[in-house]
């Protein structure tokens, strides 16, 4: 059932994308091709019929001029016999009909002999008689219903129209030629549209099918199949999309794993100090002797565990602010050296109690104030110092220094512990990442420090020092 539903869903996806593709791509091309066909057909028709009409007009003009010049000397008296003579000597009787029409509009002489005595009744005759100018006509013959083209030229004697010389030809052959030309361009247009549709369908199939696969994979990832990988079959942009989806899936899987580890780690970290606090609280409360040594020892442990809980809660709050965009700075002019030395003096005695010596080397130059948030910067210093003692305290020594290097104020904090494994260095600043370290912590302290330094326009770097141990380098830009 699940596979059947999935198949139906993908089929709907394919159909929907094809319909949009056809509408958005093929339809504009179809409209353009249709416009070209219409314009070409209109142009061919106009050109063909225009050429025919021009030929008839030229021939009618020549015949009428010759008739007026040589046959109209006696006026209307010689009109009829001369018209009969002209009709008998006309050469193109087989395709063009020559008619001589009287002023009444009736045909007096015709090369066909069938239309004599009839009245054609077309507008070109009346127009030629009224205006004494040549007039064309194209349309159906009122008598026969045949499509014809005609040109009527007035015959003038002493300024009066005594008759009309008319050339008439059938449009059957011309219509056939125009129809063939239009059919040819329509067939070419249909062939082009078929090629366009087929090529577009092939293309959209090659696009839609991978998109459906990627969409199905995205649904599986959204449903919780983190780390799911799509088989890569493409080398173009679709292949790049598949790579991005696979990378996203791996990243989500890693993030989910880190979050799970984070929840487990935080639960353990919270349970341990709370157990110590509860245990020592009950011990002190129930101690009937009131031994001051035992009491001071218990209170010191309670304070240490409470401090650890406070630090962890602060880190979680900072992380929450980072996630929802509420992580902001209160900028003012800061004496960076003074803030750093405050953190040094705060931790020096605590480290001495744990058997760690903290060596501080101030810079030779006087450091000018820089714009920054003093509380956030001090938070970075304290977190880095605490992290150095937590992970590198086994070396028994921590070195701290501050100096002006070029246009930057540089702070370095180095421990002499085991350092950071090379393969873990690219990830130590990621949220929730703890790597192979067994030290207590939530795994977000360094991520918070990195974010604070970035917001100050600086860099936060973690590496391994020569001779062993890890070194943290904080660079903050100083401008005159």
User: Which CATH number belongs to the domain containing residue 418 in this structure?
Assistant: 3.30.565.10
Question: DSSP states of 285-344 as a string?
Answer: HH-SS--HHHHHHHHHHHHHHHHHHHHHHHHHHHHHHHHHT------EEE-HHHHHHHHH
In total, how many domains does the chain have? 3
Q: Does residue 439 belong to any structural domain of this protein?
A: yes
Residue 262 and residue 278 in one domain: yes
Residue 300 and residue 267 in one domain: yes
Domain holding 272, by residue range, is: 237-323
Residue 387's pLDDT is what? 84
Q: Give whole-number Cα distances, 259 to 262, 267, 324, 432, 444, in Å.
A: 5, 12, 17, 7, 11
Could you give the CA distance from residue 229 to residue 235 in angstroms, rounded to a whole number?
A: 16
Q: Give whole-number Cα distances, 439 to 144, 306, 400, in Å.
A: 110, 17, 21
Could you give the CA distance from residue 47 to residue 368 in angstroms, rounded to a whole number?
A: 88
Could you give the CA distance from residue 59 to residue 46 in angstroms, rounded to a whole number?
A: 20
Could you give the CA distance from residue 273 to residue 279 in angstroms, rounded to a whole number?
A: 10
Q: In this structure, what token pair is assigned to residue 476?
A: 């903050």
Residue 443's pLDDT is what? 62
Q: What is the model's pTM?
A: 0.44
Residue 29 and residue 104 in one domain: yes
Residue 213's pLDDT is what? 74
Could you give the CA distance from residue 118 to residue 121 in angstroms, rounded to a whole number?
A: 9
Residue 249 and residue 350 in one domain: no
Q: Domain boundary at 175, 199, 215, which? A: 175
Q: Does residue 218 belong to any structural domain of this protein?
A: no
Residue 222's pLDDT is what? 74
Could you give the CA distance from residue 193 to residue 30 in angstroms, rounded to a whole number?
A: 7
Could you give the CA distance from residue 33 to residue 181 in angstroms, rounded to a whole number?
A: 16
Residue 12's pLDDT is what? 46
Q: Does residue 186 belong to any structural domain of this protein?
A: no
Q: Does residue 332 belong to any structural domain of this protein?
A: yes
- The residues, any chain, with a CB within 8 Å of residue 429's CB and separated by 6 or more, are 446, 447, 450, 460, 462
- The residues, any chain, with a CB within 8 Å of residue 261's CB and separated by 6 or more, are 432, 434, 443
Residue 83 and residue 17 in one domain: yes
- Treating both helix axes as pointing N-terminal to C-terminal, what angle do 445-455 and 292-324 enclose, rounded to 10 degrees? 50
Residue 332 and residue 319 in one domain: no
Q: Does residue 190 belong to any structural domain of this protein?
A: no
Q: Domain boundary at 308, 323, 338, which? A: 323
Residue 152's pLDDT is what? 92
Which H/E stretch holds residue 20? helix 2-21
Q: Domain boundary at 175, 200, 222, which? A: 175
Phi-psi region of 168 (alpha: psi -120 to 50; beta: other; left: phi over 0): beta
Residue 365 and residue 385 in one domain: yes
User: Which CATH number belongs to the domain containing residue 35 in this structure?
Assistant: 3.30.450.20
Residue 388 and residue 448 in one domain: yes
Q: Does residue 211 belong to any structural domain of this protein?
A: no
Q: Does residue 196 belong to any structural domain of this protein?
A: no
Q: Does residue 222 belong to any structural domain of this protein?
A: no
Could you state, in chain order, the average pLDDT of each consecutive group of 10 residues for the chain (480 residues)? Answer: 47 58 77 88 87 88 77 59 79 85 83 75 86 89 85 82 86 86 89 84 72 75 72 72 79 73 66 77 78 80 79 71 70 90 86 88 81 88 86 82 87 88 80 59 73 89 87 81
Residue 389 and residue 299 in one domain: no
Residue 268's pLDDT is what? 63
Residue 114 and residue 95 in one domain: yes
Chain Cα centroid distance, residue 85: 81
Residue 411's pLDDT is what? 92
Determine phi and psi for 145, rounding to 5 degrees.
80, 5
Per DSSP (E only), the strands in 135-294 are 135-140, 147-157, 160-170
- Treating both helix axes as pointing N-terminal to C-terminal, what angle do 27-71 and 79-88 enclose, rounded to 10 degrees? 130
Residue 392 and residue 428 in one domain: yes
Residue 360 and residue 306 in one domain: no
- Closest among 475, 455, 464 to 418, alpha carbons compared: 464
Could you give the CA distance from residue 386 to residue 380 in angstroms, rounded to a whole number?
A: 10
Partner residues linked to 165 by β-bridges: 100, 153
């Amino acid at each position: 059932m699940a596979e059947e539903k999935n198949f139906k869903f993908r089929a709907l996806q394919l159909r929907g994308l094809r319909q949009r593709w056809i509408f958005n791509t093929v339809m504009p091309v179809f409209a353009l091709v249709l416009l070209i066909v219409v314009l070409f057909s209109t142009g061919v028709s106009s050109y063909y019929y225009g050429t025919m009409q021009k030929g008839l007009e030229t021939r009618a003009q020549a015949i009428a001029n010759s008739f007026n010049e040589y046959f109209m000397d006696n006026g209307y008296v010689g009109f009829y016999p001369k018209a009969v003579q002209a009709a008998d000597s006309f050469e193109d009787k087989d395709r063009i009909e020559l008619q001589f029409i009287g002023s009444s509009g009736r045909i007096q002489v015709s090369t066909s002999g069938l239309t004599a005595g009839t009245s054609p009744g077309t507008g070109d005759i009346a127009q030629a008689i009224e205006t004494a100018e040549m007039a064309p006509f194209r349309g159906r013959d009122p008598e026969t219903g045949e499509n014809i083209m005609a040109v009527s030229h007035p015959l003038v004697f002493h300024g009066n129209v005594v008759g009309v010389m008319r050339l008439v030809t059938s449009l059957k052959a011309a219509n056939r030629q125009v129809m063939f030309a239009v059919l040819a361009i329509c067939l070419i247009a249909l062939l082009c549209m078929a090629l366009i549709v087929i090529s577009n369908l092939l293309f959209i199939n090659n696009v839609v099918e991978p998109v459906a696969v990627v969409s199905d994979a995205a649904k599986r990832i959204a449903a919780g199949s983190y780390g799911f990988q799509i088989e890569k079959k493409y080398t173009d942009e679709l292949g790049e999309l598949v790579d991005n989806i696979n990378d996203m899936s791996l990243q989500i899987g890693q993030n989910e794993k880190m979050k799970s580890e984070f929840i487990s780690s935080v639960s353990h970290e919270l349970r341990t100090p709370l157990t110590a606090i509860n245990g020592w609280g009950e011990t002190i409360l129930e101690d009937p002797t009131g031994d001051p040594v035992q009491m001071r020892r218990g209170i010191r442990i309670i304070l240490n565990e409470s401090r650890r809980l406070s630090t962890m809660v602060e880190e979680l709050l900072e992380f929450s602010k980072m996630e929802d965009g509420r992580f902001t700075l209160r900028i003012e002019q800061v004496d960076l050296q003074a803030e750093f030395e405050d953190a040094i003096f705060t931790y020096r005695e605590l480290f001495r109690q744990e058997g760690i010596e903290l060596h501080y080397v101030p810079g030779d130059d006087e450091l000018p104030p820089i714009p920054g948030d003093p509380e956030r910067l001090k938070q970075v210093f304290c977190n880095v110092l605490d992290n150095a003692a937590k992970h590198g305290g086994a070396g028994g020594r921590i070195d701290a220094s501050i100096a002006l290097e070029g246009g930057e104020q540089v702070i370095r904090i180095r421990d002499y512990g085991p350092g950071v494994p090379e393969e873990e260095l690219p990830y130590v600043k990621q949220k929730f990442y703890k790597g192979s370290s067994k030290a207590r912590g939530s795994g977000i302290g360094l991520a918070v420090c990195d974010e604070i330094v970035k917001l100050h326009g600086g860099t936060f770097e973690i590496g391994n020092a020569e001779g062993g141990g890890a070194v943290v380098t904080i660079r903050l830009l100083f401008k005159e």
